Amino acid sequence: MSSLRPRRSCLYMPGANAKALDKARTLPADTLIFDLEDAVAPEAKADARDAIVATMAAGGYGKREIVIRANALSTPWGHDDVKAAAIAAPDGVLFPKIDSAADIEAADKALRDAGAPPSTAIWVMIETPKSILNIGEIARAAERTRLTTFVMGTNDLAKDMRAAQTPGREAFLAALSLTVIAGRAYGLTLIDGVYNDIPNTEGFEAICRQGLALGFDGKTLIHPSQIETCNAVFAPPPEEVAWARGVIAAFADPANAGKGVLKVDGKMTELLHLEQAKRVVAVAEAIEAMGAS
Ligand code: COA
Ligand code: MG
């Protein structure tokens, strides 16, 4: 079940930073995002593109999922980025500055035209005010394209909204929740935005917890020091896994055959909880398998 692949920690690194691309082979991030966009200067784009293709050909990334962030198709680099991605065949190409469902269709066509394998999914940045206004239609494009994942681009959104990035993210709660609602309606994976203040570990943990509480599956990161906390926050805690195993065992008990509602550990437990419990166990097992790499 690909939707249950762990994506707790999705670490960005500039495609122009050879040291970071190499270091990523040993970092415990679930997903690596090799960036060609905001973190790469215009004059370094072509070399960064070549470096990403070469590093992926060299391999050594184990079970880590690999995503390439392309430049927008409207820029001078976008289509060349997609062509390079078609050769490198990452798990996903992350398209920035998406405004509408038509942009998703354009991304889908660009991947197809470039001959990218069907296994390369479309991830998109949700980072423009228009994308928030059009979020339902954008999410629905997943029904007819390779779109699988939304990534919040909170820095760009803050810039365009002219809103302040406060610790509680008050200015962005509407956008974050709308994105979660739209994404869940169409079965997408949802990744929260980055936290810029690298030394502030307390603030980082709090914002990871907020993202989890809002419904996100994981978070994008900018520095290796953020991985461990993020992995811990976005993994189901041991007591939740124990609860889930208990619920599964209770419904599997022949004495409860055919029942839709039970009492497990004193709590009313319905078939919807069984569904939730199965998901929790599947996620925990997927995380365990990641660690065994
Ligand atoms: N991915 C992989 N490795 C990284 C990394 C990243 N995002 N950020 C830092 N590292 C590595 C460094 O290369 C260094 O490796 P070393 O110990 O082998 O020398 C180590 O981690 C410590 O790095 P540090 O000195 O603390 O950071 P820095 O000053 O080299 O870099 C940033 C700071 C912010 C420039 C860097 O973390 C970065 O580029 N982050 C990602 C930015 C990005 O991709 N933004 C786009 C999306 S918002
Ligand atoms: Mg950006």
Q: What are the residue boundaries of the structural domains of the chain, listed by start? A: 9-234, 238-292
CA–centroid distance, residue 153 to ligand 2 (Å) = 6
**pLDDT for res 292:** 67
Whole-number average pLDDT of the chain: 96
pLDDT tens digit string along 22-55?
999 999 999 999 999 999 999 999 999 999 999 9
Is the pLDDT reported for residue 234 higher than 80? Answer: yes
Ligand 1 atom closest to the CA of 37, numbered from 1: 46
Average pLDDT over residues 163-173: 97
Percent of residues, the chain, with pLDDT higher than 70: 98
With a cut of 60, say whether residue 293 has pLDDT above it: no
DSSP string, the chain: -GGGS--SEEEEEETT-HHHHHHGGGS--SEEEEESSTTS-GGGHHHHHHHHHHHHHH---TT-EEEEEPPPTTSSSHHHHHHHHHHH--SEEEEPS--SHHHHHHHHHHHHHHT--TT-EEEEEE-SHHHHHTHHHHHHGGGTSSEEEEEE-HHHHHHHHT----TT-GGGHHHHHHHHHHHHHTT-EEEE-----TT-HHHHHHHHHHHHHHT-SEEEESSGGGHHHHHHHTSPPHHHHHHHHHHHHHHHSGGGTT-SEEEETTEEEEHHHHHHHHHHHHHHHHHHHHHT-
The residue nearest atom 29 of ligand 1, judged by CA position, is 223
What is the distance in A from the centroid of ligand 1 to the CA of 20?
6
Cα 13 to ligand 1 centroid, rounded to whole Å: 7
Ligand 1 binding pocket, CB closer than 6 Å: 11-14, 19-20, 23-24, 35, 38-39, 194, 222-224
Ligand 2 centroid – CA 125 distance (Å): 8
Q: 95 or 289, which is more confident?
A: 95
Position 245 scores a pLDDT of 97
Residues at Cβ < 5 Å from ligand 2 ion = 38, 153, 156
What architecture is the 9-234 domain classified under in CATH? Alpha-Beta Barrel (3.20)
Average pLDDT of the residues in 185-204: 98
Q: How confident is the model at residue 178 (pLDDT cuts 50, 70, 90)?
A: very high
Average pLDDT (179-196) is 98
Q: What ligand has the least distance to the C-alpha of 23?
A: 1
- 101: pLDDT strictly greater than 60: yes
| Distance from the alpha carbon of residue 14 to the mean position of ligand 1, in angstroms | 8
What is the pLDDT confidence band of residue 3, given thresholds at 50, 70 and 90? low
Nearest CA to ligand 1 atom 47: 12
Confidence of residue 114 (pLDDT cuts 50, 70, 90): very high
- pLDDT classification of 291: cutoffs 50, 70, 90: confident
Nearest CA to ligand 1 atom 40: 222
Q: How much distance in Å is there from the Cα of 49 to the middle of ligand 2?
A: 17
Across the range 261-285, mean pLDDT stands at 96
